[in-house]
């Protein structure tokens, strides 16, 4: 019973934190005259991917990095295909051409780099080891630093161009508190899930339980943030949250864990990364021509995700 309580309390904290973060993010964007997209990247990824970063560091210290790759890759696949897909199914989703050419293209490049670093044997023969080494981790962290630098540079320029910008300390405090609440909720959820898994014998294999849990832990905060942003009618916030979280998952989350303890990559995780690369390219093609995702695109994206997850579990 205690584990169920922890799971419920964790989800409630995530929802409350996501609601506050979205509202304060909208206020932050209006106050600083910053774009909603960049605001979502700077604030949304801190809350949605914050727990993944903390979890990756803990797993690295305990030399238990076997689920880090699954959480990061499947979490990114979930956000790109399902969150964007469902949003597109409810109505046309505008994606600016600049976003497709810069941020989304950068996401595709990062996904290909992660695949290359993980699947050495695809390029160097069967004798090569499927592992993300410490050097690979440093390379991924550099990709993250560059991404944050470019995003921060654009944001700084927007704020600097508006001389009357005044950011209240209360606004920053609320944003910081909401991020802490989301991370604490994720911690409670993780503790509750692991405790319940050990205490109760579930009628499925342990691999399915761990695989499902990895997806759930990695995507719930980003899901809540996207839901509340969509309810506020802020499509740019949803897109920024999805792209930003996906890049963070594939760079700093995997990179930090690998630097602490190299990650052994399974063949099934290689398939996940190939699916992620192909899916990202498909979404880029869907949205590039008319700068939007239409309902038919959303249906195709959601179907692709569900079909792949069913295939992986079975």
CA dihedral sign, ordered 71, 72, 78, 81? negative
pLDDT at 127: 55
pLDDT at 24: 82
pLDDT at 1: 63
CA distances, 237 to each of 41, 166, 222 (Å): 8, 22, 11
The tokens describing 111, both together, are: 């996904």
pLDDT at 23: 84
pLDDT at 101: 83
pLDDT at 163: 60
pLDDT at 266: 82
pLDDT at 309: 82
pLDDT in tens, 125-155: 555 567 888 888 899 999 999 988 888 777 7
Q: Give the separation between CA 242 and CA 249, rounded to whole angstroms.
A: 11
The tokens describing 306, both together, are: 């569900």
pLDDT at 76: 87
Coil, strand or helix at 311: helix
Q: What b/e sequence results for 33-60 when a residue is b if at least 16 CB atoms lie within 10 Å of its CB, and e otherwise?
A: ebbbbbbbbbbbbbbbbbbbbbbbbebb
pLDDT at 279: 92
| β-pair type (93-94, 131-132) | unpaired
pLDDT in tens, 49-86: 776 777 777 776 776 777 788 888 888 888 898 888 88
pLDDT at 44: 65
Q: Give the separation between CA 162 and CA 29, rounded to whole angstroms.
A: 12
Please calculate the CA angle 111-309-313 and round it to the nearest 5 degrees. Answer: 120
pLDDT < 50 positions in the chain: none
Q: Give the separation between CA 199 and CA 3, rounded to whole angstroms.
A: 9
pLDDT at 210: 60
CA distances, 112 to each of 107, 134, 145, 182 (Å): 9, 18, 18, 30
The tokens describing 74, both together, are: 């499947």
């Amino acid at each position: 019973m205690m584990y169920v309580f922890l799971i419920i309390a964790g989800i409630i904290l995530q929802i409350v934190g996501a609601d506050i973060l979205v509202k304060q993010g909208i206020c932050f964007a209006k106050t600083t005259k910053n774009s909603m997209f960049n605001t979502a990247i700077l604030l949304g990824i801190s809350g949605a991917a914050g727990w993944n970063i903390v979890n990756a560091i803990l797993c690295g210290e305990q030399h238990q990095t076997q689920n880090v790759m699954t959480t990061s890759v499947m979490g990114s696949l979930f956000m790109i295909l399902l969150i964007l897909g469902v949003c597109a199914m409810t109505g046309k989703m505008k994606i600016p051409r600049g976003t497709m050419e810069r941020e989304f293209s950068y996401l595709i490049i990062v996904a290909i780099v992660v695949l290359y670093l993980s699947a050495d044997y695809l390029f160097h023969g069967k004798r090569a080891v499927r592992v993300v080494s410490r050097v690979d981790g440093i390379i991924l962290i550099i990709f993250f630093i560059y991404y944050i630098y470019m995003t921060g540079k654009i944001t700084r320029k927007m704020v600097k161009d508006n001389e009357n910008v005044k950011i209240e300390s209360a606004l920053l405090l609320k944003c910081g508190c909401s991020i802490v609440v989301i991370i604490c909720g994720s911690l409670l959820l993780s503790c509750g899930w692991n405790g319940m898994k050990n205490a109760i014998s579930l009628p499925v294999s342990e691999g399915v339980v761990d695989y499902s849990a990895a997806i759930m832990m990695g995507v719930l905060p980003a899901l809540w943030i996207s839901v509340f942003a969509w309810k506020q009618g802020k499509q740019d916030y949803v897109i920024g949250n999805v792209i930003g979280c996906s890049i963070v998952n594939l760079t700093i989350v995997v990179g930090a864990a690998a630097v602490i303890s190299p990650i052994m990559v399974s063949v099934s995780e290689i398939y996940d990364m190939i699916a992620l690369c192909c899916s990202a390219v498909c979404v880029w093609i869907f949205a590039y021509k008319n700068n939007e995702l239409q309902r038919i695109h959303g249906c195709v994206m959601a179907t692709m995700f569900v079909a792949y997850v069913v295939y992986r579990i079975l």
